[in-house]
Structure 1
Amino acid sequence: MSEKIAVVTGGGTGVGKAITKALVGDGFQVVITGRRESVLQESAKEIDANAVHAVACDVSDRAAVAALFATVEKTFGRLDLLVNNAGVFSPSVPLEELPAEEWNKAVGANLTGSFFCIQEAFRIMKAQTPRGGRIINNGSISATTPRPNSAPYTATKHAITGLTKSASLDGRMFDIAVGQIDIGNAASDMTAKMSGGVTQADGSKKPEPTIDAGHIARAVSYMASLPLDANVLTMTVMANQMPFVGRG
């Protein structure tokens, strides 16, 4: 098959949907996954029903992830790109008040799910001919800098950085390139509240600027376009006026 094959988790909405559009424009066949079948099907039809394939999957479920990648391998015979984009926020409450189930939900969706998907991608990419492929993890600005009352999200995104580096090291001898994109305030349903005010480090609430998710999609498209002997290990794409650089 001449077309390249990609899997985008959380590919039915927001940033994942924008990434899917860009990859289709680059000639990929894209398998999008998420928990809501109806949302995935609508997005596939909207983007390109011939190039986007919807497969529902909860990435925190090990068996469901194995079934997802088995379907990809059976349908297409290979995998060239995995974009680990799926993730959830937790309630913005003092960390001592956070219910245990919210912590577990964040770890499952943001970290464990990415690990499960990388495991399955490695298995396919090591065995296929030609060997190798690329994995891009969504790290978020929170992979380096927290917001107030964001311990679960921040902890999982810091962990994604470690997972990216470890997988990059383990994959390079098999022509698997693993990198990370750290996103700052891409406009989506998840960031809609930012225009109304977000808690800052000093406890005040201020609106924060966002950027079009298409900018993120173009960055991922660039990372995916590289030959496997080149890699973007980390890239930050952010709203230029957001309070991240410096002490604000």
Structure 2
Amino acid sequence: MNTIDLNHRCAVVTGGAQGFGRAIAERFVASGARVAIWDHDIAFAEKTAKEIGGDVVTAYQVDVTDPTAVDHARDATLAAFGKIDILVNNAGIAGVNKTVWDTDYEEWRKVLRINLDGPFICCKSIVPAMIAHKYGRIVNIASIAGKEGNPNAAHYSASKAGLIALTKSLGKELASYDITVNAVTPAAARTAIFDQMTQQHIDFMLSKIPKGRFVLVEELAAMVAWLASEDCSFSTGAVFDISGGRATY
């Protein structure tokens, strides 16, 4: 594992109890950072925090769709760490696999609330603290689906496309500060999110990846760690592909 310097940095990772989020939190700890795991499942988050970080990882119960809950978690994290240098907007759901015309409106809204409203709410809450501290790194976990639009996953695809656009807009807004905002667009990984998908949809995603396998959570975490580092100082409002050759742009 290559060394990435996150010494003395303090990070928030939403949805950090498992999957991509856990791998990112682990890589951050290995790189010297303190990590606040924000997750709706506090028991799971506390278990993860204990397993990977001991006294450098703290778990908070947070519903990222609730602005008040996010503000409370921000205040608690700032009280514990003194600052928030890094925000990784990772919390997300896949939703059920159906055509647009068979998708219930509330199912559409649920996916958009968590996958797009959540990152907006977290950014809105934390960015002023980064501005005051004169430093920040924001990494949004989007998806190749946000570029291509997966069939039978319009809500998920639209939410990730929206997150890419949010990344570009906020990156421009913060370009005059030492705060970068970037997105990553991974292909699927074998995580718990697969439990929400049909086997047909999983097979479809695999068939689209030229490397012939799903991305490893550790591979994504390595890319995120660099984007969250001080070395990543000039790339902002950008989208970093990690799709095994699937992306065409």
TM-score scaled to structure 1, two decimals?
0.88
Alignment match, 1:133: 136
Tell me the C-alpha RMSD between the 2 structures.
2.4
For these two proteins, the number of residue pairs brought into alignment is: 238
Which of residues 219, 226, 242 is equivalent to 2:223? 219
Alpha-carbon distance in structure 2 between the residues aligned to 1:122 and 1:5: 14
User: Contact conserved, 1:147 with 1:199, CA < 8 A, in 2?
Assistant: no
| Offset of residue 224 of structure 1 | 1.6
User: Contact conserved, 1:186 with 1:216, CA < 8 A, in 2?
Assistant: no
Which of residues 20, 24, 30 is equivalent to 1:19? 24
Q: In terms of mean alpha carbon deviation, does 226-235 or 96-105 score higher?
A: 226-235
Alpha-carbon distance in structure 2 between the residues aligned to 1:133 and 1:199: 35
* Correspondence 1:224-235 to 2 at 5 A: 224-227=228-231, 229-231=233-235, 233-235=238-240
Alpha-carbon distance in structure 2 between the residues aligned to 1:205 and 1:80: 35
Which segments of 5 or more consecutive residues in structure 2 lack a partner in the other structure? 1-6
Alignment match, 1:86: 91
Describe the shift of the 1:19–1:179 C-alpha distance in structure 2 as closer, same or farther (beyond 3 A).
same
Alignment match, 2:81: 76
User: Contact conserved, 2:11 with 2:87, CA < 8 A, in 1?
Assistant: yes
Instruction: Provide the secondary structure at the position in 2 that maps to 1:60.
Output: coil
Q: Aligned residues: percent identity?
A: 29
Describe the shift of the 1:229–1:206 C-alpha distance in structure 2 as closer, same or farther (beyond 3 A).
closer
Alignment match, 2:154: 151
Q: In terms of mean alpha carbon deviation, does 94-103 or 186-195 score higher?
A: 186-195
Alpha-carbon distance in structure 1 between the residues aligned to 2:94 and 2:226: 27
| Offset of residue 245 of structure 1 | 4.7
| Offset of residue 195 of structure 1 | 10
Alignment match, 2:3: none
Alpha-carbon distance in structure 1 between the residues aligned to 2:149 and 2:37: 29
Which segments of 5 or more consecutive residues in structure 1 lack a partner in the other structure? none
Alignment match, 1:210: 214
